[in-house]
Structure 1
Amino acid sequence: MRAAVFHGAHDIRIEQVDAPTGAGPGEVLLRPFWCGICGTDLHEYAAGPIVIPTHPHPLTGASAPQILGHEFSAEVLEIGAGVTNVSVGQRVSVMPIISCGRCYFCRRGLNHLCVDMGCVGLSFAWGGIAELALVPASQVYALPDALSEIQGALVEPTAVAAYGVDTAGVRPGDTVLITGAGPIGALASIYANSIGARVFVSEVNPVRAALARSLDVGEVLDPSAMDVVGYLRDATAGIGVDAVVECSGNERALQTGFGAVRSAGTITQTGLHTRPASIDPMQVSLREITYNGTWCYPLTDWPRVIDLIARKGLPVERVVTAEIAVADLVEKGFDTLLDPSGNEVKVLVNAR
């Protein structure tokens, strides 16, 4: 079958690989519909392998070369013995995290912090940018009729964004600053708005800022052209915003968040910083600021996020700026997204 395979930095090949032979007990054979290109995928392409193992993964046994794709929707082609949560022909969204269920964190319900965590499309035999994928049945969730296959492929990044907003403690009526309007920041702004928060988005990139404005979920601020901290202080009667969700992984944006948040407010670090960033610990103490991080999402969030998109009509599909064929994955996907002058924000790959 055809698949997108990571071999090393700047080496992703569309090639023929052995197809799975069928679904074993507790497994589901899938035909992927759409798969998103994630920031993690971009890091692997630019400088990897980082997360992708070069030696057999302790939980899955997988190692590079790796079939890519962990944000995907699919059709169920076959179910193995004992599978009861989905049936053949159903459309599903795949929750890609694999956990051991035995370590300190898994036994406390923190499976996303599993010491041996694996991930479909990064450290597993199969991935979503392929004609077929074989995954444990526990990782697939049926899509309601109200959700499209494209929305199903966006459940994963929406779960990341929602977890960041939830961890910041955002409630109806709160003011929240989202720093960065990449895919996660854009989805975080959609989710925070749906809660009933007053949303501000800080973004210097004109393409991403335009996307944020098109969502019409809050006010978009350009930190290169204005004093964002001063503006937000004025907008909140000198108090500051209740919460900040830092989605850019940028040191200046993080410092803006510390300047903009109110005393006893919360900053959640959702964007990944690839190098150390400085903060002023004295401000954390004097103003009793809570600064915490998020990694992925609770595994139990999947059905809740699917329900929110369907029942509340969250327009998550509006963050998609390009839909491409597998053959164009590198040129129109990875290379375009890594180009500082590129005009895409979220790219989905048609895996069919």
Structure 2
Amino acid sequence: MKALIFDGQLTLQQVPDPVPKKGEALIRVRYSSICNTDLEIIQGYMGYKGILGHEFAGEVVSKESKFFGKDVVGEINIACGKCYLCKTGRKTHCINRTVMGIFEHPGCFAGYIVLPEANLHVIPANVDMPTAALTEPLAAALEIFEQTKIKPTDNVFIFGAGKLGLLIAQVFRLSGCEYTLYDINPWKVEFAKGLGLSAALPEAIGADQKAEICVDCTGNPKGIETALSHLYPCGKLILKTTVANPAKLNLNKIVMNEFNIIGSRCGVFEPALSLLSQKLIDVEPMITKVFPFDELVEAFQFAAQPDTIKALIRH
């Protein structure tokens, strides 16, 4: 099969088809999506080398699998199921885990992938594959609501109107919270408004204006500083994107104001698929361009542009 390999540079190469073990399924990838994490990996994040990609939708083609013939999406963390964290309900933090396309497990920018059947979820019949390919980031957005209690009376500031910030804003809109999505890029602010979201440039925030919850989706230390400066005492700062470079934080300010800082990453797929099936979350306008598989290297260049929301790959 053909796959996108990163070994210091991005190249499409012919590699052997993967072979599923017992309890695993072979999946023909139909659509995949480029994530910010993919862009960070090719800049050296995680030190990963191999087949990239972790957002996908595909069809199970291994006849031995109970999912044979089904269209599926897959959770990216491959857990051992035996360690302390797995046994206490924290499989996404499994001590022995691998992570598809990120850490010691081949990714989905390929003709086929192999995943444990336990990781698979059937795509609802009324959800098309391009939409389903964005299940993983939507699940990550929903994880905020799994981790912390959100009240309808909470006011929320979301920083960073990229793909994840847009999804998080859509989820908060459903919650009934008063929220605003901020970004330094005027184009992204207008794009968010086009989705019917409350959005503005950061300079629109008054110096003394604060929120009960701030969500950082910038992946930038300055974004985190901005979020902290607009948080009420005892408020919650949710860090939703990785910051590849070291960040300095004023710990005294955090302690004195009793801020709650919450790291947040992967989420549960079933609620995400349900929202997509009910048409409560709209991802279609976020797909800036669909590339054929053979143009994956060019798609990475496109995905890195500031006016790109989401680059999708048709396999």
| TM-score normalised according to structure 1 size | 0.82
Structure 2, unpaired ranges of 5+:
none
1:68-79 paired onto structure 2 within 5 Å = 68-79=52-63
- Aligned 8 A contact 1:151 1:316 in 2: yes
1:286 aligned to 2:256? yes
The match for 2:287 is 320
CA drift at 1:286: 3.3
CA drift at 1:110: 1.0
CA drift at 1:90: 1.6
C-alpha spacing 1:248/1:28, structure 2 compared with 1 (3 Å): same
Deviations 1:265-288 (A, max 9, x none): 211111211223333333333332
Structure 2 CA distance for aligned equivalents of residues 24 and 101 of structure 1: 16
RMSD over equivalenced CA pairs, Å: 2.1
- Aligned 8 A contact 1:181 1:209 in 2: yes
The match for 1:296 is 266
Structure 2 CA distance for aligned equivalents of residues 259 and 209 of structure 1: 21
Residue type of the alignment partner of 2:101: G
1:135 aligned to 2:112? no
> What secondary structure does 2:43 align onto?
helix
Residue type of the alignment partner of 1:4: L
- Aligned 8 A contact 1:168 1:268 in 2: no
> What secondary structure does 2:7 align onto?
strand
Residue type of the alignment partner of 2:232: R
Structure 2 CA distance for aligned equivalents of residues 152 and 344 of structure 1: 19
The match for 1:26 is 23
The match for 1:3 is 3
1:1-352 paired onto structure 2 within 5 Å = 1-8=1-8, 11-20=9-18, 23-47=20-44, 50-52=46-48, 64=49, 66-80=50-64, 83-84=65-66, 86=67, 88-124=68-104, 126-218=106-198, 220-223=199-202, 226-230=203-207, 233=209, 240-297=210-267, 301-311=268-278, 313-331=280-298, 333-339=299-305, 342-351=306-315
C-alpha spacing 1:132/1:183, structure 2 compared with 1 (3 Å): same
> What secondary structure does 2:295 align onto?
helix
Matched residues, percent identical?
26
| TM-score normalised according to structure 2 size | 0.91
CA drift at 1:183: 1.2
Structure 2 CA distance for aligned equivalents of residues 32 and 188 of structure 1: 26
Deviates more, 1:178-187 or 1:116-125: 116-125
Residue type of the alignment partner of 1:17: V
C-alpha spacing 1:309/1:172, structure 2 compared with 1 (3 Å): farther
